[in-house]
Structure 1
Amino acid sequence: MSTPRDDDALSWGGDDDPTLDVGDKRESASPGEPEPLIREPRPEPLVASSPERPATVVPDDGGAAEPVASASSEEVPDAAPAAPLGNIGLVGIGVVAATYLFFALGWLVSGRQLQSLGIPIPDVTVVAMTIGATLAPLVWFVAVLVLTRSWRTWQRFLLLILGLVLLVPWPFLSMGSLA
Structure 2
Amino acid sequence: MTSDSDDALSWDGDEGSARGEPVRKKPARTHSGSAAAAPSERPADDPTLPEGWNAVGRGSADVGRLRNEDEDEDERPPLSTGMLLTLGVVGGVYLLYSIGWVVGGMRLKPLANLIVADAMYMPWFVLAVAAPALWFLAVWVLTRARAGWIRVALLLLGVVLLVPWPFVTVGVIGS
| TM-score band, normalised by shorter chain | 0.5 to 0.7
Deviation per CA, 1:3-37, whole angstroms, max 9, x where unpaired? Answer: x845984557979752632522138xxxxxxxxxx
Match of 1:33 in 2: none
Residue segments in structure 1 that go unaligned for 5+ positions in a row: 28-38, 40-74
Question: TM-score of the superposition, structure 2-length normalised?
Answer: 0.61
Match of 2:168 in 1: 173
| 1:93 paired to 2:87 | yes
| One-letter code aligned to 1:159 | L
Say which of 25, 49, 56 aligns to 1:23. Answer: 56
Say which of 100, 108, 115 aligns to 1:114. Answer: 108
| One-letter code aligned to 1:99 | V
Whether the 8 Å contact between 1:103 and 1:168 is mirrored in structure 2 is yes
The alignment of Structure 1 onto Structure 2 pairs a total of residues equal to: 128
Shift of 1:161: 0.7
Question: TM-score of the superposition, structure 1-length normalised?
Answer: 0.59
Whether the 8 Å contact between 1:144 and 1:159 is mirrored in structure 2 is yes
| One-letter code aligned to 2:99 | L
Shift of 1:110: 1.6
Matches of 1:110 and 1:152 in 2, distance apart?
35
Matches of 1:108 and 1:11 in 2, distance apart?
66
Matches of 2:90 and 2:151 in 1, distance apart?
11
Residue segments in structure 2 that go unaligned for 5+ positions in a row: 1-15, 29-34, 41-54, 62-69
Matches of 1:126 and 1:13 in 2, distance apart?
77
Matches of 1:146 and 1:12 in 2, distance apart?
50
Matches of 2:108 and 2:25 in 1, distance apart?
69
Match of 1:130 in 2: 125
| One-letter code aligned to 1:148 | T
